[in-house]
Chains A and B, each alone.
Chain A
Amino acid sequence: MSVSTDLSKDELLKAYRMMRTIREFEERLHVEFATGEIPGFVHLYAGEEASAVGTMLHLNDADYVATTHRGHGHCIAKGVDVRGMMAEIYGRKAGVCHGKGGSMHIADLSKGMLGANGIVGAGGPLICGAALAAKYKKSGGVGVCFFGDGASNQGVIFESMNLASVWRLPAIFVAENNGYAEATSSTWSVATDNIADRASGFGMPGVIVDGFDFFAVHEALGEAIERARQGGGPTLVEVKFSRYFGHFEGDAQTYRAPGEVQKLRDEKDCLKRFEERVVRAEMLTAAQLRGIDAEVKSLIDSAVSEAKAAPLPTAEDLLSDVYVSYP
């Protein structure tokens, strides 16, 4: 088995570091959330890293991404500051949104991250707008909308796909099908066998990819993104994989089969498979990867301890930034 030749060693190291950072961020949040210190709801992306990273390696700051309530992975991969994200999740003033948004609303427009979103499917129209802006300004930029199998049934997602085709927008719709919309299985809620089957109904190509395989995702998204950049219009990519944790933290996942998650961790894990492949192909060494693991652990540790010690927002923060100016 050989590694795709379009990825250099540096890119492979970058990909691994990004995936490992997401994994450690989410695994640590799983532990910390259980202490009761983190406010509100968190929805963890652990297990799905290959989708975010395989996509984001093709993007730069001129490209836009919109994501879901399960958005930490996309935010990290798009370059949002990890410490700032952790502080935001802890509701601190030092957070990327000054503690005003929380886990579901992490955004950084300077990095083209239009935000995690608490409204399922809302990213579809927003990305049409971002892609429209990129096309209008001739920036060469694209817009990528990540949405789930649940959102794939939301009306605005259908509207967005049709609109993106009719307006021939540089947009990519990535349906992250992790098998469950909350506690409801996607095989039940999606009327077709695959979400990608709907693509031709919206005038665009539909592609299915194994979401546990970083290289498969990277290749498929590379084609879709290039098509968009060249003015070829939108693509629907269905990424099939699974999440390790519940819909939200606190979800006991009783709707899943006993041992289902452990089996995925043992047999399908995207980080394990990535390592096996790059080490066997002698592109990277295990030692290099362990080095990255240690650095990432240190980053996450300090992000958590800094977040816990950071000051809370104040009464002034409650009232600020509703408008740019008022009146």
Chain B
Amino acid sequence: MARKITFSQAINEALSQEMARDETVIVMGEDNAGGAGSPGEQDAWGGVLGVTKGLFHKYPGRVLDTPLSEGGYIGAAVGAAACGMRPVAELMFIDFMGVCFDQIFNQAAKFRYMFGGKAVTPVVIRAMQGAGLRAAAQHSQMLTSLFTHIPGLKVVCPSTPYDAKGLLIQAIRDNDPVIFCEHKLLYGREGDVPEESYAIPFGEANVVREGNDATIVTYGRMVHYATEAAEKLTKDGIDVEVIDLRTTSPLDEETILESAERTGRVVVVDEANPRCSMATDISALIAQRAFHSLKAPIEMVTAPHTPTPFAGVLEDMYIPSAQQIADAVLKVRG
């Protein structure tokens, strides 16, 4: 039975249902409840944007507020995972990865391999990412590709409430470390979400829109701009396929290549900066494996090679727009 809830509520529901099902699932992060040690309301915030609200009272002792110590508590989540727990730790802004990245990429990601297959580290690290809130350079990045690069990590970027719930449930049940990226501007987005629990497998892209004239490959918030561009282009008689990656690691190479081979015209859209991005990664994949099917060079639509600016007018230029995406499709169409 599906009903309309927001992306944020879908995440809360996924956490709640998994916490009900599995007592080893715990939640931790800065102000994931809020009010620790303070005289006022406990669970005052439920996360800086309210995503984890309510869990503190519903699951006593299982939602832990932390001091401002990402290195400490993200590493604690990793250590607890290696010792039989299933922690879901929140890295409030993915931009803060700098202060705790060692515990993610040198510890969690590498335990299984370095220890000869004997470690299981089922930690989920949830992090907000993306631009559009005028939060400026240190609170607006899309750092998906940095995590995707690391063997041993899985990286998930839902674009809809339905995907958010199903992918987070999968992430919690998954026995490998998962980076779960939540785009800030998607939190308020509504969508149909089943009440019951369900898991969406990793490595399965979603073909949001079928078409034979061109392929757009993208993920996260850009899925909606890509879809908007595709709708616009139907007026020009161009039928565009939109692929939502859902997970960048593992990557659904099959779906990407099948579409590229069929349409021969590819636009890759990525809200991140262009160098060493998901955009370049996917472009290289297609160029290597579907080269002879391509009728035009691959087009990439990305943010520029700059930090995210503060002024609204500049940030709006920074974020790829539906118009830019549509123009890119026209370009590959020649």
Contacts and interface: CB of A to CB of B under 8 A. Distances in A.
Interface of A: 64, 66, 95-101, 105, 107-110, 114-115, 117-119, 122, 124-130, 132-134, 136-137, 143, 155-156, 159-160, 162-163, 166-167, 320-327
B152 A133 contact: no
B312 interface: no
A134 B176 contact: no
Contacts of B74: 125
Contact of B75 (A110, A126, A321): A126
B151 A132 contact: no
A96 B175 CA distance: 21
A247 B192 CA distance: 60
Q: Which of A100, A125, A159 has the most chain B CB within a 10 Å cutoff?
A: A125
Given A129-B82, A162-B69, A100 B76 contact: no
B274 interface: no
Given A97-B118, A322-B113, A128 B84 contact: no
Contacts of B72: 124-125, 128, 156, 159-160, 162-163
Interface string B192-204: 0000000001111
Given A107-B118, A122-B103, A129-B76, 13 more contacts: A96-B116, A107-B115, A114-B82, A122-B107, A124-B75, A125-B72, A128-B76, A128-B79, A132-B79, A133-B80, A136-B26, A322-B151, A325-B174
A125 B71 contact: yes
Given A122-B103, A136-B26, A321 B117 contact: yes
A313 to B, nearest CB: 9
B95 to A, nearest CB: 18
B111 interface: yes
Given A115-B111, A136-B26, A327 B202 contact: yes
Contacts of A128: 72-73, 75-76, 79
Interface string B98-120: 00001100110001111111111
Interface string B166-197: 00000000111000000000000000000000
Given A64-B83, A327-B250, A126 B112 contact: no
B36 to A, nearest CB: 9
Contacts of B112: 321-324
B125 interface: no
B136 interface: no
A101 B116 contact: yes
Contacts of A100: 113-116
16 contacts: A64-B79, A107-B114, A109-B83, A115-B111, A119-B102, A122-B106, A124-B72, A125-B72, A126-B78, A129-B78, A136-B26, A143-B79, A160-B72, A322-B152, A324-B176, A327-B250
A64 B114 CA distance: 18
A129 B115 contact: no
B16 interface: no
A125 B116 contact: no
A324 B78 contact: no
B44 interface: no
Interface string B118-133: 1110000000000000
B250 A119 contact: no
B66 A163 contact: yes
A321 B64 CA distance: 31
B151 A166 contact: no
Contact of A97 (B71, B76, B115, B175): B115
Contact of B67 (A64, A96, A162, A321): A162
A81 to B, nearest CB: 12
B114 A325 contact: no
B250 A125 contact: no
A203 to B, nearest CB: 11
- The 5 lowest CB-CB distance pairs between A and B, nearest first, are A125-B75, A129-B79, A327-B203, A159-B72, A126-B79
Nearest to B119: A109
A100 B85 CA distance: 25
B165 interface: no
A44 B65 CA distance: 39
A53 to B, nearest CB: 23
A203 B277 CA distance: 44
A19 to B, nearest CB: 26
Contacts of B154: 323, 326
A323 to B, nearest CB: 5
A69 to B, nearest CB: 13
B59 to A, nearest CB: 12
Contact of B76 (A64, A117, A119, A125): A125
B113 A129 contact: no
A133 B87 CA distance: 10
A311 B127 CA distance: 44
A119 B75 CA distance: 12
Nearest to A129: B79
Contacts of A155: 71
A101 B76 contact: no
Contact of A129 (B81, B119, B203): B81
